[in-house]
Structure 1
Amino acid sequence: MPNSPPTVDPPAIEGLDVKVVFIYYFACVTAITSLSLSQICQWNLLSPLPYRWGLAVGVVVGAIAAYWNHTKILAVALPQLPRLEAWLKDKGYQITEIEENLTIYRSPQSWRRGAVILETLGDRRRVYGRAVTIRQLQRDLAEDRL
């Protein structure tokens, strides 16, 4: 119908937010660095020195990890779907699960790359994955290298 209201997409799947990834890596790296430096340099844990270094290293690693590892979403139109599937196949991803409107792709290197989730929304698709993976996919789709 020409006057029918446009369909509203469901909310996006919850993924790892930048803040969550930063806090996780920041907390873990700060604690490990502080404890390691206190043992290696024989600093007292009651002194501020190991914590200062731990905080500095934690901030840097947390920021880098948040940039690379948070969940990013890419909207893909139906005509781009064959190129998307060719890109996934070229990168070694294979379908591991199919649910209602979700298709989950994993590669043999999933521990390093993470999964890619394809959500079907009528004539469009949403792709979820690690930010580094989605950025590469965006570049390759934009350059039409597929």
Structure 2
Amino acid sequence: MPDPSNNYWTAEIEQYHGASKRPPPAARQCGSAHRLRYLHHLRDVACHGFGLSNFSSAHERWKAQRRTETRSPKALNWSNQQVRPEMTVIIGLLQHRHLENTGKEISRAEVINALAAAGLPHLLEQTRAFAALPATEHAANNR
């Protein structure tokens, strides 16, 4: 159970229940270019790690599938994923730390983008489970 004397947990619980405990308006005013900074960085890292054509074709396939599943134009920009409670806590703590260090609020999506961009190169280059398969082995696995 979270410590109720901890300001972060109090603010998070009150936000969840609708009370406005968000940072002052100055911390929330950030241009769209700054809001998309982590997303653009993640795309650059993904294109470098997977190859531009692989990443672009997978992204286009995902968008085509979403178009058939829903009529909402917002569905092409967002995806919902279930995460474990520990991950939710980590994201919240990183949001809080970013606000304390920079004075600017950061969204959960931006935190996830930053985490993925920081971890993707490590997964692709330094772990065998996510390493690229040689072309001959890849062709054999896709039969």
Superposition TM-score, scaled by structure 2 size:
0.25
Larger helix proportion of the pair: 2
Larger radius of gyration: 1
Q: Which has the higher contact order (CA 8 A, sep 6+)?
A: 2
Superposition TM-score, scaled by structure 1 size:
0.25
